[in-house]
Structure formats: C-alpha cells, structure tokens
Structure 1
Amino acid sequence: MLILDVDIPSRWVSLPSPDAPDFLTKYNLAKRGRQPVPPKQSFSSLIASYKRSHRFENLASRTRQDYDKCLLFMDKKIGNYDPTKMQRRHIIQMQMDNAEKVRWANYLVQVARVLFEHAIDLGWIERNPAKGVSMLKSKKPPRRPWPVDLIEAYRNTAEARALLIFELCLGTGQRIGDVRKMRWADIEGNGINVHQGKTGVDLWLPFTPQLAAVLDRTPHDGLFIISQPDSRPVSYRAAAFAVMKVRKEIGAEEYDIHALRHTTASELAALGLSDELIMAVTGHTSRASVVRYAGAARQKARAQVAQDARNRTKTKREK
C-alpha cells in the first residue's frame, strides 16, 4: 500500500498490509510526514538473537538448515514488524498465505512458535501467539511402503548405483540425505555407523543380506559409498534420477525414495517388534513417528494374530 508524503508531495511512502499489526502506527506517522522508524524489538532483531541462542545452536545440522529457510523467509517478509504486536490471527494469515504448500505452511508456524518462545525468554512478550495454531492437513495421500512385488521387480531391474542406493535406503531405513553421506570408513563389523543429520542421533545398523551382497561387489572409488566421479557424495538430484529411472520401468512411480524408510519400519512392525526396536533402526525419537510410518503394518499383524486366535478357539469348540 502507498500513501502520499505530506511534506514531499512527489514522494510516496510504502506501508504494510492493512492487516499488519503495525499498520496503523506507520499510517499515522506517514500522515504526519514522519518516516516510520524500525523498532528495536523487530523480527529481524529477534531472529538474530535466536540464532545466537542455545535453542538454535543445539539443533541438529539438518534441522538448523530447515529452520534457516523459514527464518530467512520471515526476515524478508516481516523483518521490520514489531513481534510484541503480533497476534494469533497474523500467524494464521501467514499460514494460509502459504497454504498451497501445506508442509511449508505448517513448518512456518512451527518455527514461529519456537521464535516466540525465545521472545518470551527475552522478556519481550508473555504469551506465545503461535501456540495452539492448528496444522493444515494435506490432501495428498500418505506415503505407503513399497509392495513386496515391486521390491523384487526393482532388484531384478536395477544395476550398479541405482541398486546400491535402493539397498542402502531399504537395508538401513535411513533418510536419503544420510545415506548419501555414508562413507566406507563408517562400516564397522557387519554394519555401519550413521549420524542422522535431522535428529543428531548416532546409530549402528547391521546390514541386511541383500545390502551386504551389494556392498561386497561395489568398488571403493572414493571416501563415500555412493560417490561421484570427482569423489564427492552423490547429489540428491542424481540419486533421485537413478531411482526414478527404474521406478518408471517397473511401474513404481507412486513409491519414492523416502517410502523405503516407511518400508523398513513397516517390515519390522509386521514382525511384531516393539516401538523401541523399530526406533533402534529408524532413529525416530518419538513413538508418534513410528505409528505414522508403521501403523498400518502393525494393525495388519495384530489383526492376523487376533483372527488366528479366534479361529483356533472356534476349531476347538467344533471338535
């Protein structure tokens, strides 16, 4: 929004949206011919303070990268706004303005919630306006684990790098970002040491027979298990392209790389293993995540046990 400067009629003053928390203040200042002065308690200063805090420093490296994207977005959009005047409706509006990308919109709310907690620590505010804002629900169907027939089809079709990427993801149950960084030196005994970038969790994961077989015939061409010709780790784009090529050949376009992590959790859940044992492989830090990844497989396994018991009881009665 623009308003004509009363002191210099040829100059227009830029104002924020009428819904912005500081709109009236800046509007009245502009009417009196005074330029709005950015407050000391601005979002930019809050973000800068937060990034110097233990809250930010203690985040895992991958999480810091994800937070940085949101913080940069907020700094550009509302950096000069006074966070002490921010209300719940403004958080919801930011979320809705980005609703076309549900995950991004929800992540903005989550990071804003953390940011306002830091503002409380600084004594700027007493209440977190982002707390309690509901998350948007995605209309996309949830990821499903790879079916057994497509796993076998992939193994029978893929070669070299595409098969190595597949077996590392499925065999270890790790995110592709962590799989890409796996080094030959990380191998210990019949397994591999992994440091999860997102959670900061350290794991040792034994190899599956299929993964061990693929690793045995993979040349050690560099530091990284999946390396590029220049010895750097394979890029996400190159890894995704290699896997997608095979997915198209076997009709598995619905099942992406990350769905292999779901597959690992589902296979373990189908065996009746506890949340703790599944988390020991996937590195999840909450049972809620295990339920999201393996809930369907666990329900099927439990239903089978229940029906088997039911059928045994029925058979005994009929004898």
Structure 2
Amino acid sequence: MFQLTLLRRRLAVMIHSWRGWVMSKVSLPRHVHKITSRGREYFYYQEGRGTPHEGERIKLPNDPQSPAFWNAVRQAQGSIGPTPTDTIGALIDAYECAWPSLQRKLSEGTKTQYRRNLKPIRKAWGNLQASELRPKHVDVLIRKIGLEKPGAANNILDALRAMVSWANGPVDLLRHDPTHGVKRFPKGKGHEPWTDEQLAFGEEAFSGALRRFFFLSRYTGQRISDTVRLNPNDIDEGGFSLPQKKTGVKPWCPIFPELEREMATWQRRPGPYLLQETGKNAGKPFSSNQMWKAFNREREKHPVLKGAVPHGLRANAVIRLRVAGYTALQISDMVGMSVEMVEHYSRYADRKASGKMILREYQEQNEDKIVKHLENGKQK
C-alpha cells in the first residue's frame, strides 16, 4: 500500500514536471515574454523590451497553447490572421484590435473618439459584407445624421475613413473605399469667444473652483479634460507641461503674469487645482462632465453669461496671443492646437489688426499731404 502511494506521488510529480517541460518547450515568438507572479504565469508582447526604444506592452492570453494566444500575438505584430473581417462589424473589431500595433500610435482620447463614432457604423451595417458597402450608403447615413448634428456626422465620417485607410493598407482587408466622394459638412463658426463683458463678469463674480477653472482656461487655452487635471507637478520652468488627453500632444503653456498673480492666492496643496467643494464628492477632483455641470448651474443664474461655453475661453486664449503678435505656429506650441484651428479662432483678430494697420497707414499718408512743415518748424 505504501509503495502504491509512493508510486502515485512520483507519477504526479512526473506529470507536473512534464507539464512544466511542455510549457518550457513552447517556443515563444520574438518580443513575447513571460512573467510569473504569485505562482501564475502572464504573457506580454513588447518590442525592444529593456532597451531605450521599447514599445507598448500588450497583454496576451495566459495559455500559449491556445489559438487565442497566437491570434493575439499576430494582432500585436500587425497581422490579423484568422480574425474574421468579412463583415463591417468584424472589420471594426479587427481595426480596434490592431491599434496597439499601429506604427503611428493613437492617443487614448482618439481611441475613445473612434470607438464612439464607429458605433453608428456598426449599428447601420454591422452584419453587411464589407465588400458590399458603397459610397452611396455612407452618403445617405452621413446626410441623415448631419441634418441635426453636422459636427457628429463629420466625426463619424472621419472615424470610418481612418478605418478604411487602415483596411486598404498592408493588411489588405479591403479592396475599395466606401467613403470615396462623401463630403463633410462645412465647418461652423466654432465656439464663440467670450465677450469683454463676460470676461469681466467672470473675473469679478466667480469664486472657488469655478474661478480657478476660469483663470486656468482663459490663460492656458486648454480643454476642460486637461484643465481639470492640472496640478503643481505639471509646472515646468514657468509653464504647464501636460500631455493632452484627447490628442496626446504635450504643449508648453507659459504661466502669464495674470495667471501667476491669481495662483499666488490659491491654497497650496497636493493634487489637482480643481477640487469639488460640496456634496458627497467634496474634496475629490472634477471630471470634465462635473465641471461642465458646475459652470452650467452658474450660467443659468446670470443672463450676462448667455451663450458662453467653457471651450470659448480656449478661443479667447488664442486671440489674446495672436493680438500680442505671436505666430500661429508659436500659439500652436503653447496651446497644443493645430495651426489650422489657431488660424480659425484668430481670424477676427487678424482682420481687425489688418484693418487698423490700413487705417493707420492711411492717416499717416494724408497727414504728410495736409500738414507741410516749414524750415523753422512752424506749420504752414
């Protein structure tokens, strides 16, 4: 009986060792490494691991003998493999799976935008064969959405075009462009900058977190999603340096004297400058949505703020810098906005400056003609 028990134990040890040997003999592909933590094995794909040029770390399934593991590896390497891509829904899935392996990385903000804007595409044609989607189908959907929400329609078309461009590339999953010839809706005026009256009101009447938000937005030109995250650790030699949530761009925003004087009155403490002041979340950071709601409640109390939106302060920041004589490229570096958008927001300031220059030159020319100076300095 003792010998039988001993034999069983030895057999169990041999089986366990055999399993470990099998696992150790599984030839892991290049850039795949294993980590053992608390007796469990985890696998990751990371190019250039341990070097100054290491890439993104991608989690893989835990069983290297499963088809799912090797499929995930191929996706990380940029090859879709057996993932179905015959329908639009499957093509969207494949596109999202391929994001970690794209040569040009997408920011988390862009990924969120693409996921949201591809949902109407999936809803409309998720089960449609990808090869059957035509520009006329896309045009009908974009026009329908654009009747009420032209901005949303443009965003959906942009996301679809990004996916189609990828699918028509080296992965060779699509042989035509279903967005060809589909037009975007014209750009609107964009978010209106605050008027001088609204700016003066905000500077005089706002208090607490809303006042901090007003000054940070007005003088840095950042989006709500970035302004609510600003904290003392983001200060870098007299300016804010923080990767933008939406784009990943890392501008360097000078802390101008007006903002510096205001910040000197703030209580010094760790964490974001903007913390909620009331309710069950008092002392916690604001989300973008929570800050929007706080501003909206204040706006409803004061008619002078009618039409003002937080994003309009971004336009004010751009216009202020443009009037000060900075170029669109310099402002782009400071605010983290594309040169095209800088020019879009500052068009009024540019026109006004040009008009003033023409008026000044005209007045100077006419003064030379009308006022003639005598040699003794007296006017004739």
Q: TM-score, normalised to structure 2's length?
A: 0.68
Letter in 1 for 2:127: N
Deviation (angstroms), 1:177: 0.7
The answer to whether structure 1 residue 219 and structure 2 residue 267 are counterparts is yes
Does the 8 Å contact 2:235/2:241 carry over to 1? Answer: yes
Deviation (angstroms), 1:165: 0.4
Does the 8 Å contact 1:177/1:236 carry over to 2? Answer: yes
The answer to whether structure 1 residue 82 and structure 2 residue 114 are counterparts is no
C-alpha separation between the residues in 2 aligned to 1:300 and 1:240? 31
The answer to whether structure 1 residue 293 and structure 2 residue 338 are counterparts is no
Identity of aligned residues (%): 22
* CA deviations over 1:22-48 (Å, ceiling 9, x no partner): xxxxxxxxxxxxxxxxx8511122112
C-alpha separation between the residues in 2 aligned to 1:90 and 1:243? 40
Provide the residue aligned with 1:314 in structure 2: 366
Provide the residue aligned with 1:3 in structure 2: none
Secondary structure of the residue aligned to 1:205 is: strand
Aligned pairs (5 A) from 1:26-175: 40-53=85-98, 54-55=101-102, 58-99=105-146, 100-121=148-169, 122-137=171-186, 142-175=190-223
Provide the residue aligned with 2:7 in structure 1: none
After the TM superposition, list the runs of 4 or more consecutive aligned residues in structure 1 that deviate by more than 6 angstroms: none
C-alpha separation between the residues in 2 aligned to 1:246 and 1:190? 31
2:225 pairs with one of 171, 177, 187: 177
Give 5+ residue unaligned stretches, structure 2. Answer: 1-83, 372-380
**Cα gap change, 1:276 to 1:51, in 2 (>3 Å):** same
**Cα gap change, 1:306 to 1:55, in 2 (>3 Å):** farther
Provide the residue aligned with 1:303 in structure 2: 355
Aligned pairs (5 A) from 1:209-248: 209-228=257-276, 229=281, 231-247=283-299, 248=301
**Cα gap change, 1:40 to 1:152, in 2 (>3 Å):** closer
Letter in 2 for 1:50: Y
Secondary structure of the residue aligned to 1:300 is: helix
Asked which structure has the greater RCO (Cα within 8 Å, sep 6+), the reply is 1
C-alpha separation between the residues in 2 aligned to 1:163 and 1:223? 17
Work out which of the two has the higher radius of gyration on C-alpha atoms and give 1 or 2: 2
Deviation (angstroms), 1:245: 4.1
The answer to whether structure 1 residue 190 and structure 2 residue 238 are counterparts is yes
C-alpha separation between the residues in 2 aligned to 1:306 and 1:194? 40
Does the 8 Å contact 2:220/2:255 carry over to 1? Answer: yes
Deviation (angstroms), 1:263: 0.6
Q: TM-score, normalised to structure 1's length?
A: 0.80
**What is the number of residues matched between the two proteins?**
279
Deviation (angstroms), 1:55: 4.3
CA RMSD of aligned residues (A): 2.2
